[in-house]
Amino acid sequence: MKNALTYWKKYDLVFKHFSFKKIYKEVLSFAKKLGNPFTKKSNRGPKFKIEPVEYAAYMVFETVTHNSPYRDMELGSELYVGKHIDYSTFGKNFIKIPLEYLIKLLNKTAEFLEGMLGTAFCYIADSTGLVTNIYENTIFKGKSIRRKIHYKAHSLVGYYPNKQIVYVKNAFGSDKHISDSKGACIMLDNYNLGWAYFSADSAYDFEELHKKIKEKNLSPLIKPRNTKLTKAKTTIKHRKCFINQLYKELRHVVEAIYGGLENKGLLNTKLRREDNINKHSVVCQVRQNIQQIMKLKVENLVIIWI
C-alpha cells in the first residue's frame, strides 16, 4: 500500500469524519447493547426526561470528551439529548449507575476492537493514582498531618504492535489498600484469553498472580523483584524466563494512555463519594477505546478509498 496515508493525515481524517455528536452516538450505541442501568422505583413522581441509558451514555461522553462537571453537562444537554436537564439530576443519576454497568460498557468497546483485530499480542497491567480534593487526618513520622486521599485506577491494556493500537480491555477503581497484583487478578477473573504475553512491572511479581496467568494460558513477562531485598521463590523461579528487551519495548504502552488522561485532567476529580470516584476511574478509560475505534474506522475508509 504505497499510497497509504501518513499518521497525521489519518489523524486529520478523524476530525473530518467525526464530530462530538457522532462520538456521543457511538457511546450511546454501546450503552444500548447493555440496556438501562437503573429503573424507576415506583410509578410515583415525575417520569424520566430521557431514558436511563441516555443518561449513562451522555455522562460518559461528556466526561471523556470535555471532562465536564455536572453544570457543564446541563449546558450541553439540549444539544445532545434534546432536552434541558438540571445539573443536579446528573449527580443523582450517576449515583444510581452501578460500577458493574460502566465496566461492562468499557468491555463492550474492547470487544468491538477485538472483533476487528483478533487477540492482542500482549496484555499489560498497571495502575495510576487518582487525585481527589478529599483530605484525611493521619500520623506521619509521629506528627499529625492532613493529606489528600488518593485512589487508584487499575488497567488491563491490550496491544497490537503491527497496528499500533492500544486499548483498555478491563479496568476498575479502588483505594490505595488494594495492591497492584491483587487488582490484576480481579481484572483477569472473567476472561478466557488466547495465548499472549502478560507484561507488568515488579509490583506484580507475586505467586497469586503467576498462578492466575498460568490459568489463563498467558506467558508471563513480569519484571522480577529485587532479590537483594527478598528471597521469594517466585522471583527466583521466574527470573529465568524474563525477556528484558521485550519488556522495555512494551513499558511505554500504558504510560502513553495515562499521559493522555493526565493531559485531559481526568486523573483529578472533584467527586467526593468513594463509589463515584471508583466509577470515574473506569469512565475516564473509555476515552482510549473510543479514540481507537475512530482511528480504525477512518483507516477502513482509507483502505476502501485506495
Per-residue pLDDT reduced to its tens digit, 107-142: 999 999 999 998 889 999 999 999 888 887 777 777
Residues 149 and 252 in one domain: yes
Q: What is the pLDDT of residue 239?
A: 58
Whether 102 is in a domain gets the answer no
Provide the CB-side half-sphere exposure for 52 (13 A, CA): 18
Residues 241 and 136 in one domain: yes
The Cα-based distances of 228 to 119, 202, 241, 244, 251 in angstroms read 37, 13, 19, 18, 23
Alpha-carbon gap, residue 102 to 99, rounded angstroms: 5
Q: Answer with the one of 97, 130, 165 that is the final residue of a domain.
A: 97
Three-class SS state of 235: helix
The CATH number for 288's domain is: 3.30.420
The confidence score (pLDDT) of residue 236 equals: 53
- Whole-angstrom Cα distance, residue 112 to residue 110? 5
Residue 306 — very low, low, confident or very high, per pLDDT cuts 50/70/90?
very low
By mean pLDDT, which of 91-95, 211-215, 231-235 is the weakest? 231-235
Instruction: Give yes or no for a contact between 292 and 157, defined as CB atoms under 8 angstroms apart.
Output: no
Q: Predicted confidence band at 22 (pLDDT cuts at 50, 70, 90)? A: very high
Q: What is the pLDDT of residues 97-112, one digit of tens each?
A: 999 999 999 999 999 9
Starting at the edge strand found earlier in the chain, the sheet holding 143-160 runs 165-175, 143-160, 122-140, 197-200, 219-222
Asked whether residue 166 falls in the same domain as residue 269, the answer is yes
Closest of 133, 130, 62, 129 to residue 93, by C-alpha: 62
Cell of 174: 479502588
Residues 181-229 have pLDDT tens digits of 999 999 998 777 678 899 999 889 888 999 999 888 888 888 887 765 5
Q: Which domain holds residue 71?
A: 7-97
pLDDT in tens, 251-286: 888 888 999 999 999 999 989 899 999 999 999 999
